[in-house]
Structure 1
């Protein structure tokens, strides 16, 4: 059986592909920022509060982490209009991705916070740090530094999971591929190209996140090392 590849046909739809790539990047970046911020807040609440607050955060994390992302998207896109809250496909995709990522980020950051030894917190308090300074410099920044690789992996997974948003008519990369396939009937070529694009996006995202991590935490480690050397020299 012979098969002739015709990738030239795909080039005719480059505008559609570029549009899908741009929306995928936009949804991914926005959901990463919002989901990570929500994860920090929820993990912090869980670590300092008990009772009802902790129960609600735990319930949210368990429900989201143990239900399919597709169902969560359907609830946002098809369920909210029943409550009088009608949102567009792109907005629903962003809400669904943020809610999903926030739950995973909460659990990852919680592990980082719990890894901070109590003696470090006590040392910060002994030095006269305010509660906010202890939280910022002793708890949350070191916690984020510890779990940053795990967070990066989750961010990449969320970017790849954005392809599921095509199920609610979001015109991201996967939806663009489905449109091109329906017009060109070149399924093999379309999905080979899209696979390579997703691979490139994932590798680029990892590289960007690595640079962000170096910028956020690299200087902190360098300052800590310099301080330790200065103290030893003194």
Structure 2
């Protein structure tokens, strides 16, 4: 059985696909920033506060990590109106992606914080660092540097998982692809193109994250902890 590819049939829907790509990028970028910040806050609270806070953070992480992302989206999009909070599909997608990514980021960053040896904190105290300086230069930045590759992998996975948001009518790339397929009836061609686009987005995101990581942590990773402490004090 032969099959004739007709990619030209989907060329007229370029605007629709580009709009989907743009929304995918925006959702991914926003959720990465907000999810990372929330993850840092929760991981820090878990490490620095009492048992009650740790239990609450652990409960949040376990619930999110052990339930489907699609169900979480449905709760946000269909559940919130039940308590009087109506949000658009795009807003619901952003909230769901942020909540999901924050749980994974919290666990990853927690591992990084726990990898910071107590002697490093004591060294910072001996050098006269304030609590804020110790947190910033001795705990959180080295912790994130240690787990940055794992965070990057999670960021890419979250970008790819944005395709699930089409289930709540968010018009990102997967939803655009479904629309184009329904209009052109060229399923094979549409999803080949979309697969290549997701691949390109993932590779581009990895490259950007690698550049960000080098600018933030490249020199820090290369130095010893003692040298870093001396430079910060200076």
How does the TM-score come out when normalised to structure 2? 0.95
1:203 alignment counterpart:
203
| 1:54-88 Cα deviation digits (max 9, x unpaired) | 11100000000000000000000000000000000
Structure 2 gap segments, 5+ residues each? none
1:184 alignment counterpart:
184
- The count of corresponding residues between Structure 1 and Structure 2 is 229
Q: Aligned equivalents of 2:81 and 2:144: distance in 1?
A: 37
SS, match of residue 17 in structure 1:
helix
Task: Output aligned runs, 1:159-178, within 5 Å.
Answer: 159-178=159-178
Q: Aligned equivalents of 1:102 and 1:223: distance in 2?
A: 29
Q: Aligned equivalents of 1:76 and 1:50: distance in 2?
A: 30
TM-superposed CA distance for 1:52, in Å, is 1.7
TM-superposed CA distance for 1:32, in Å, is 0.0
Moved more, 150-159 or 127-136: 127-136
Q: Aligned equivalents of 1:81 and 1:91: distance in 2?
A: 13
Q: Aligned equivalents of 2:42 and 2:29: distance in 1?
A: 20
Moved over 2 A (4+): 219-225
Give RMSD over aligned pairs. 1.6
SS, match of residue 105 in structure 1:
helix
1:28 alignment counterpart:
28
Q: Aligned equivalents of 1:186 and 1:48: distance in 2?
A: 55
Provide closer, same or farther for how the CA distance between residues 214 and 166 of structure 1 changes in structure 2, counting only shifts above 3 A. Answer: same
Does 1:113 find its partner at 2:109? no
Q: Aligned equivalents of 2:221 and 2:120: distance in 1?
A: 16
Q: Aligned equivalents of 1:136 and 1:179: distance in 2?
A: 47
Task: Output aligned runs, 1:209-224, within 5 Å.
Answer: 209-221=209-221
TM-superposed CA distance for 1:224, in Å, is 5.8
Q: Aligned equivalents of 1:157 and 1:57: distance in 2?
A: 22
Task: Output aligned runs, 1:60-209, within 5 Å.
Answer: 60-209=60-209
How does the TM-score come out when normalised to structure 1? 0.95
Q: Aligned equivalents of 2:16 and 2:111: distance in 1?
A: 41
Preserved CA contact (<8 Å) 2:43 2:106: yes
Moved more, 93-102 or 50-59: 50-59
Q: Aligned equivalents of 2:5 and 2:223: distance in 1?
A: 55
Q: Aligned equivalents of 1:220 and 1:153: distance in 2?
A: 21
Q: Aligned equivalents of 2:128 and 2:136: distance in 1?
A: 14
Preserved CA contact (<8 Å) 2:156 2:206: yes
Q: Aligned equivalents of 1:173 and 1:76: distance in 2?
A: 20
Q: Aligned equivalents of 2:147 and 2:141: distance in 1?
A: 10
